């Protein structure tokens, strides 16, 4: 049986833990998505957008220097070469087109670091749909360039001033808006998190990464890889990369979370350090304190700085289909430098965590074939790196 099941569960994870007022919105979305998935016109339009606008298929690149240095055969899936600089555009285009097919006039989104907000603003503008993005006031201060980008693209950025003034509250505000305005509004969620059917919809739109990779590695080597390595924030680039290899039991999956300060300090490693619980509409691993309250997350990578993770990853962990590891801020910076210096590719700080993990893998995986999902490019992170590296 393919997962999630009808109620949105991956094993015991996922589901729909929502107030009654939201059930109509989610049901409408679920029905629309089920129909559109089979719609030839939708599929064709999406493929055109992905290929001609976003720049798919992305290359699978054999990293010669890094491979020699590590004693591994390292291939890199270049999602960093996509328009707007990261894999997030795959999901944003898919859902924005879904919104258009549903006849919605307005798209709303939540954003933390602003990357999902920028991808959503890009897709909405392209399709001629109004866009409003909820963003915590604290995050707006920290990520001024992305606020500016969204405004250039014609989106309205709405500051969220409640609670910690960050992603969590931005998400709640977006849901609140959706309940009130569902007749003309589509809520475009940014990762494989939240209540059913979002983890499934976002995963489906991101599986283009893994499907292409599977074909490309078979064409290049005539066999499947030994390992797939990807960073995990909410988990969308990783699940999109892993999922098409799910049945290839010999292909090992390694999800790399952010250990933040490391050694018991603040982190964003929900799977490695968290426990199952309910957060933002679904059951999954979350970082929580002794009495179950959600902890603050920290990572040097803005896109990994989230105390929860998608339910499908929790399921993969529970059945040991994937192995989850955590890499600290400092190690991620080493990963950032490694890829920049050996391959002339400046990675985003999120996949820099996965790059660093290759050094650990090299210790026990000599000669193995590894594919790294390079989810985004590093231009957005240069200010952060400058502060730490000097
Ligand atoms: C947002 C982001 C991530 C983390 O999100 P996932 O849903 O875990 O993929 C990873 N890499 C980049 C470049 C991002 O922008």
pLDDT in the model for residue 243: 98
- Helix H, strand E, coil C: the string for 3-42 is CCCCCCEECCEECCCCCHHHHHHHHHHHHHHHHHHCCHHH
The Å distance, Cα 307 to ligand 1 centre, comes to: 14
The Å distance, Cα 183 to ligand 1 centre, comes to: 30
CA dist 360 to 71, 129, 256, 357, 374, Å?
12, 45, 12, 5, 17
CA of 238, closest atom in ligand 1? 9
How confident is residue 1, by pLDDT bands cut at 50, 70 and 90? low
What are the pLDDT digits (tens) for 226-280? 999 999 999 999 999 999 999 999 999 999 999 999 988 999 999 999 999 999 9
What are the pLDDT digits (tens) for 32-51? 999 999 999 999 999 999 99
pTM of model > 0.85: yes
The Å distance, Cα 20 to ligand 1 centre, comes to: 30
Reply yes or no on whether 88 is catalytic.
Answer: yes
| Protein residues with CB under 6 Å of any ligand 1 atom | 86, 88, 115, 191, 231-238, 303-304, 348, 350-351, 375-376
The preferred substitution site among 115, 305, 307, 352 for testing ligand 1, maximizing ligand atoms within 8 Å of CB, is 115
The preferred substitution site among 350, 382, 384 for testing ligand 1, maximizing ligand atoms within 8 Å of CB, is 350
Reply yes or no on whether 23 is catalytic.
Answer: no
Cα angle at 134 between 128 and 306, to 5 degrees?
120
Nearest CA owner, ligand 1 atom 10:
350
Q: Which of 16, 73, 77, 88 is catalytic?
A: 88
Higher pLDDT among residues 390 and 221, named by residue? 221
How confident is residue 290, by pLDDT bands cut at 50, 70 and 90? confident
pLDDT in the model for residue 142: 85
The Å distance, Cα 386 to ligand 1 centre, comes to: 21
Is the pLDDT at 23 greater than 80? The verdict is yes
- What integer is the mean pLDDT of 348-370? 97
Is the pLDDT at 389 greater than 80? The verdict is no
CB neighbour class for 127 (10 Å; exposed up to 12, middle 13-18, buried from 19): middle
Is the pLDDT at 91 greater than 90? The verdict is yes
């Amino acid at each position: 049986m393919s997962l999630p099941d009808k109620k949105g569960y991956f094993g015991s994870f996922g589901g729909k833990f929502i107030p009654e007022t939201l059930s109509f919105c989610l049901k409408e979305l679920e029905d629309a998505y089920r129909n559109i998935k089979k719609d030839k016109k939708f599929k064709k339009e999406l493929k055109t957008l992905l290929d001609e606008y976003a720049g798919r298929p992305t290359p699978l690149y054999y990293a010669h220097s890094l491979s020699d240095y590590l004693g591994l055969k390292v291939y890199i899936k270049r999602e960093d070469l996509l328009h707007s600089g990261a894999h997030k555009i795959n999901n944003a285009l898919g859902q924005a087109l879904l919104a258009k097919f549903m006849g919605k006039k307005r798209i709303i989104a939540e954003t933390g670091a602003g990357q999902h907000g920028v991808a959503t603003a890009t897709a909405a503008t392209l399709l001629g749909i109004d866009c409003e993005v909820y963003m915590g006031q604290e995050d707006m201060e920290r990520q001024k360039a992305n606020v500016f980008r969204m405004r250039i693209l014609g989106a309205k950025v709405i500051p969220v001033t409640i609670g910690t003034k960050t992603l969590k509250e931005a998400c709640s505000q977006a849901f609140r808006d959706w309940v009130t305005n569902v007749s003309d509004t589509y809520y475009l969620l940014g990762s494989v998190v939240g209540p059913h059917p979002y983890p499934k919809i976002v995963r489906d739109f991101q599986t283009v990464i893994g499907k292409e990779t599977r074909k490309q590695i078979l064409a290049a080597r005539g066999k499947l890889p030994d390992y797939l390595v990807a960073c995990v924030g909410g988990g969308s680039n990783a699940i999109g990369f892993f999922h098409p290899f799910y049945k290839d039991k010999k292909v090992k999956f390694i999800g790399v979370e952010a250990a933040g300060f490391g050694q018991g300090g603040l982190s964003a490693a929900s799977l490695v350090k968290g426990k199952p619980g309910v957060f933002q509409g679904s059951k999954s691993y979350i970082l929580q304190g002794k009495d179950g309250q959600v902890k603050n997350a920290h990572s040097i990578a803005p896109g990994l700085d989230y105390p929860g993770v998608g339910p499908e990853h929790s399921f993969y962990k529970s059945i040991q289909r994937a192995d989850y590891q955590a890499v600290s801020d400092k190690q991620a910076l080493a990963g950032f430098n490694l890829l920049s210096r050996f391959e002339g590719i400046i990675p985003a700080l999120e996949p820099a965590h996965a790059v660093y993990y290759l050094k650990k893998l090299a210790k026990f995986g000599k000669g193995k074939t590894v594919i790294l999902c390079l989810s985004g490019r590093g231009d957005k992170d240069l200010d952060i790196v400058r502060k730490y590296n000097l």
